[in-house]
């Protein structure tokens, strides 16, 4: 019965949503606070973010993609693809065939981005819709000859306030209307690198500032009347872990620099051998016990990090908290990029708006699941991707889902009802079959009559 009521109700609400969507297209704002490690939420206070979550949903851990770096993970969120499939396989890349280089400071060549189609491009190909972006990686590049209708060229010196002003202005006053927008902020990543996540005092201060920015965001959306109808996702690309000068892996102690080209360094080094690959591999293999060394063809399948020309013939993966260096001291106290099964590498996701439940908590999804969910909310046909829409159904009001505690509750409830009914039936049967008080059998006269006359 309960099931029937819920199904009917969800059908009704879906119906209503379908009708209203003609007049008001769904809108989505995707926000990233770079390097927001999932357990900061448990270890620090975030009054503004907690208010946001109270009225929306929280995914406590988002399993991101390997390597757990900024550019690759931001592109996975907006394409639903592993790095080997979308082609942004690191913050520093080299393409052997074209001999092109990619870095944080030289990322504008569409060549690097064109292996995938990000959601802002797909959104814009729909009739009467545009996209807007305030500095999400890739949004200032003409991917498949398309930038968002409204975007800002990347500059870390532009304030959060200016980015927010632009985004809200575009969400309010554009024709065709902006239905998908992104907003990016460099903290708490920058401070996480500088101080390390174990520096409680500095991280407390930085995370309080991040929370205040979330407060500003919500306040502005409310003042402008955008809050009720806008879907807002707040998430991040990766976490952060503590590094130490006592945990250094010095490649110079193992191999001569002249025998390879270093494409990327730490915590995942990308090595392009200049001499025989096996020779380079054999030297690196015995270099340090806190580093895994893989030939490209032997990279574990769980990383989904193999089938792309931009992945180099040898990669080195440092253990958590270890830093690969070239005869240098420790460059930073905090870092990320490590194995994506480490919880310290995971970000969180919170969401609020008409598409999302209120006050719902979920333990985990994959970062590649965010893309099909966003496409669903916006009514877009997703491109082929590595995500699973079903993983996010419990977050959405127009979807039917059973989570584990609910399923256990329903099974226990059903068993209780069945047991009660069985008991009642047994009791009733016992009552009905109570023997009548003994009375002597009276033989009737005709009882002796022969059956056949």
Toward Zn ion, which CB reaches closer, 193 or 304?
Answer: 193
State the Cα–Cα distance between residues 418 and 191, nearest whole angstrom: 58
Q: Which of residues 70 and 235 has its CB atom nearest to Zn ion in the complex? A: 70
**Residues 164-193 close enough to bind Zn ion by CB under 5 A:** 189
Q: How far is the CB of 105 from Zn ion (least distance, A)?
A: 15
Give the separation between CA 413 and CA 407, rounded to whole angstroms.
10
Indicate if 122 belongs to the active site: no
- Of the pair 70, 312, the CB lying nearest Zn ion is at 70
Residue (of 195, 333, 325) closest to 266 by Cα position: 325
Size of the site for Zn ion (CB under 5 A): 5
Residue-wise burial string across 3-40, b where 16 or more C-beta atoms lie within 10 A, e elsewhere: eeeeeeeeeeeeeeeeeeeeeeebbbbbbbbbbbbbeb
CA distance 55 to 353: 8
State the nearest-atom distance from the C-beta of 349 to Zn ion, in Å.
15
Task: Draw the binding track, 217-256, toward Zn ion (x: CB under 5 A; -: no contact).
Answer: --------------------x-------------------
Dihedral angle over CA of 59, 61, 65, 71, nearest 10: 70
> Rounded CA gap, 389 and 160, in Å?
31
Start-to-end C-alpha separation, the chain: 61
Of 113 and 184, the one with the shorter C-beta distance to Zn ion is: 184
Give yes or no for residue 83 binding Zn ion (CB under 5 A).
Answer: no
Q: Which of residues 390-419 bind Zn ion (CB under 5 A)?
A: none
Q: Which residues in the 10-69 window bind Zn ion by CB under 5 A? A: 34-35
Least CB distance from residue 186 to Zn ion, whole Å?
8
- Mind giving me the DSSP string for 241-291? EE--TTSEEEGGGTS-GGGEEEEE-SSEEEEEESS-HHHHHHHHHTT-TTE
Binder of Zn ion out of 32, 68, 70, 124 (CB under 5 A): 70
Decide whether 70 or 344 has the Cβ nearer to Zn ion.
70
Minimum CB separation of residue 34 from Zn ion in Å reads: 4
> 228: which 2 tokens?
């009720």
The active-site residue, picked from 68, 70, 122, 323, is: 70
Q: Looking at beta carbons, which residue is closest to Zn ion? A: 70
Q: Enumerate binding residues for Zn ion (CB under 5 A).
A: 34-35, 70, 189, 237
Active site residues: 70
């Amino acid at each position: 019965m309960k099931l029937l009521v819920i199904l009917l109700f969800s059908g009704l609400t879906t119906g209503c949503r379908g009708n209203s969507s003609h007049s008001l297209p769904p809108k989505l704002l995707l926000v990233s606070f770079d390097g927001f490690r999932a357990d900061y939420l448990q270890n620090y206070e975030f009054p503004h973010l907690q208010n946001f979550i109270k009225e929306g949903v929280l995914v406590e851990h988002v399993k991101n993609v390997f390597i757990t770096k900024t550019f690759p993970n931001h592109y996975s969120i907006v394409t639903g693809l592993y790095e080997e499939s979308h082609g942004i396989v690191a913050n520093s890349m080299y393409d052997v065939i074209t001999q092109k280089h990619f870095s944080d400071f030289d990322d504008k060549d569409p060549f690097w981005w064109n292996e995938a189609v990000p959601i802002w491009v797909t959104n814009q190909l729909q009739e009467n819709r545009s996209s807007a972006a305030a500095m999400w990686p890739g949004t200032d590049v003409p991917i498949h000859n398309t930038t968002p209708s409204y975007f800002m060229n990347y500059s870390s010196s532009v304030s959060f306030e200016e980015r927010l002003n632009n985004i809200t202005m575009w969400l309010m006053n554009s024709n065709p209307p902006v239905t998908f927008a992104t907003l990016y902020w460099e903290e708490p990543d920058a401070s996480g690198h500088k101080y390390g996540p174990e520096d409680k005092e500095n991280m407390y201060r930085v995370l309080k500032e991040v929370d205040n920015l979330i407060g500003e965001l919500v306040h502005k959306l409310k003042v402008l009347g955008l809050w009720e109808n806008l879907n807002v996702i707040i998430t991040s690309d990766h976490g952060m872990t503590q590094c130490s000068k006592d945990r250094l892996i010095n490649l110079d102690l193992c191999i001569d620099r002249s025998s390879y080209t270093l494409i990327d360094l730490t915590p995942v080094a990308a090595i392009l051998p200049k001499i025989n690959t096996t020779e380079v591999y054999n030297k690196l293999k015995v270099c340090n016990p806190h580093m895994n060394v893989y030939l490209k063809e032997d990279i574990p399948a769980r990383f989904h990090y193999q089938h792309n020309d931009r992945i180099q013939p040898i990669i080195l993966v440092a253990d958590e908290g270890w830093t690969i260096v070239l005869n240098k001291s420790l460059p930073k106290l905090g870092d990320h990029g490590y194995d994506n099964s480490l919880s310290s590498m995971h970000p969180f996701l919170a969401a609020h708006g008409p598409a999302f439940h209120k006050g719902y908590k979920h333990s985990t999804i994959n970062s590649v699941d965010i893309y099909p969910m966003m496409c669903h909310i916006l009514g877009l046909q997703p491109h082929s991707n590595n995500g699973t829409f079903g993983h996010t159904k419990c977050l959405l009001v127009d979807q039917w889902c059973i989570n584990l505690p609910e399923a256990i509750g329903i099974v226990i409830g059903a068993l209780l009802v069945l047991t009660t009914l069985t008991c009642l039936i047994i009791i009733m049967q016992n009552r009905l079959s109570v023997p009548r008080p003994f009375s002597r059998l009276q033989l009737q006269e005709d009882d002796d009559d022969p059956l056949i006359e």
